Structure 1
């Protein structure tokens, strides 16, 4: 009880003290989940343990051929895949978004040929250009420009052009024709995507959120994600290419070479099925001496842009809706432009 100024008694109860603060909830125990790297390591250990038994399974000639082609495709492609993934991670982590706004023309129609010409300075393979193109799109580059780079880089970089010159000695026009035709296809496909392409056709896979992490941690997280994601599709593509090499009889090629139209189509399809790395495809094309130079040029233009391993990898990076539209259109464009370039320059 207390009194106010008038001497009246009033009831007053002191406020109850605040309840004690509850302790913070305990953090859930961190569980160690088995990831893709652990699974891959376990498979490699099993392969080493059972190598003798597995070797007995591939004693057959056709199985040995399949194994040789499968391993050859992987050996050719994996180093460039790792290079492309590493460069993709560098672009994603260390290169600010504002850089691409300054490096490429603002107008998308001008950015497409600029991105295509950028492939000249990047010595890489088609396996590396796929994750790089995906990273460029993530960093705000217009998809049309990124796709032009995707198609141009494996075909017009100095290493590929030098390999073509060595494979076709005394025929510099073959090098010129390959570079010109490949660049035209890349730019034309970029402009075509700019005209009719839709954003919903491209579905990039979700990357782990690395915002706020250190640069080194973010870099290795991006590398690990892209290697395991794109590498799995590369293995599927290599297996498909090896199967085709075993199934298709060599005698069919000799019959097709006698028809000028069918020879072009045959080598275009063969480039898709063989899935040879762009640094080595010129030597394969040179060995197909029964075919005309024009048909072999089409082989060199189609291969770095559309093949089984590329289709598989592009499915993993860009999605199925993209591949079912982009791959067939690129295949037709490469045949038409390659044939025209061969008729004019060879």
Structure 2
């Protein structure tokens, strides 16, 4: 006799329905309605108000540029032919890295937008080293960021030059380092809709929807982590390390990772940290657009955790060393 759990030949096993974003959102809204009274009392505490302020500010700063990056990523994926990149970038990967780094000058945006763009570039056949160099350079050397830095440091115009030079040097070094040590299996781009079977505009909107949901979710996680750490780190810690040059550079670099401030706004935060040296504040400005909590989360979502957990620490160390060296020379 056959077991009772066997299936009749030719009949498909019933598929289990997976929870989607709509169901999760409905559950969250219902929970908020049920527990609105205790939640209101918790959110009224000073710590939670600070947490909420930081979280909302990170999201408000980052979301427009994330949308810009997603739209540009969809344009690259759908409307730009693969042959364009073969013509626009040098064929030799080592030469493509500095060209891709300099391309960040013409694309105003922050790190939130550069992640999906870099992923789309790799899908279109660009060598990963060049795409990663663009990912690091674009948020730090575009005209909006450099202009904001000039406004934030009106009495220190050399800060603009130092930020631009240090950022592009780090981007090129990391691109070349990937050529030397990087492995293709470390990058696992998420499954994308099959765009070739759709009309161009339908494929464009499908790509936008996919990247907004995918990258946006990791942006929220990163913003939550940044807000949590921002509340837990006491302000007195900054004062105790400001007078120690080496420790000050490392501390502000670490602070940039924790605060996760958008590159268009971080210069004003750095300018307010007047107790620190210009070199320490340069480290803050160089590290922030390349390595922060929300960026690491988004890189893990777009390129895979194996990539993010290797690329982010290497970038962090390289950015600190380069910023310290450039700061010692120019500042």
Correspondence 1:169 to 2:149: no
Distance 1:283 1:253 in 2: 17
The equivalent of 1:98 in structure 2 is 83
The counterpart of 1:264, out of the listed 210, 227, 249, is: 249
The equivalent of 1:68 in structure 2 is 53
The equivalent of 2:269 in structure 1 is 284
1:106-117 aligned within 5 A: 106-117=91-102
The counterpart of 2:110, out of the listed 125, 129, 132, is: 125
Correspondence 1:249 to 2:222: no
State the superposition RMSD in angstroms.
Answer: 1.8
Structure 2, unmatched stretches of 5+, are 1-16
Report Cα offsets for 1:309-328 as digits up to 9, x if no partner. 00000000001111111000
Distance 2:83 2:319 in 1: 33
Distance 1:86 1:48 in 2: 32
Report Cα offsets for 1:116-148 as digits up to 9, x if no partner. 000000000000000000000000000000000
Task: Give the alignment's TM-score, normalised by structure 1.
Answer: 0.87
Distance 1:203 1:52 in 2: 40
Deviation of 1:41 (Å): 6.0
Deviation of 1:35 (Å): 4.3
Task: Give the alignment's TM-score, normalised by structure 2.
Answer: 0.91
Looking at CA atoms only, which structure, 1 or 2, has the larger radius of gyration? 1
Correspondence 1:212 to 2:205: no
Higher helix share: 2
In structure 2, relative to structure 1, the CA distance for the partners of 1:228 and 1:281 (3 Å cut) is: same
Report Cα offsets for 1:125-180 as digits up to 9, x if no partner. 00000000000000000000000000000000000000000000021100000000
Q: Secondary structure at the match of 2:197?
A: coil
Distance 2:177 2:110 in 1: 23
User: Hey, which bits of structure 1, 4+ residues long, moved more than 6 A?
Assistant: none
Distance 1:163 1:61 in 2: 31
Correspondence 1:188 to 2:197: no
Distance 1:120 1:153 in 2: 6
Correspondence 1:199 to 2:184: yes
The counterpart of 2:303, out of the listed 300, 312, 318, is: 318
Distance 1:109 1:267 in 2: 32
Report Cα offsets for 1:24-68 as digits up to 9, x if no partner. xxxxxxxx98743x3576478659967963433301000110111
Q: What count of residue pairs does the alignment treat as equivalent? A: 315
Distance 1:211 1:81 in 2: 24
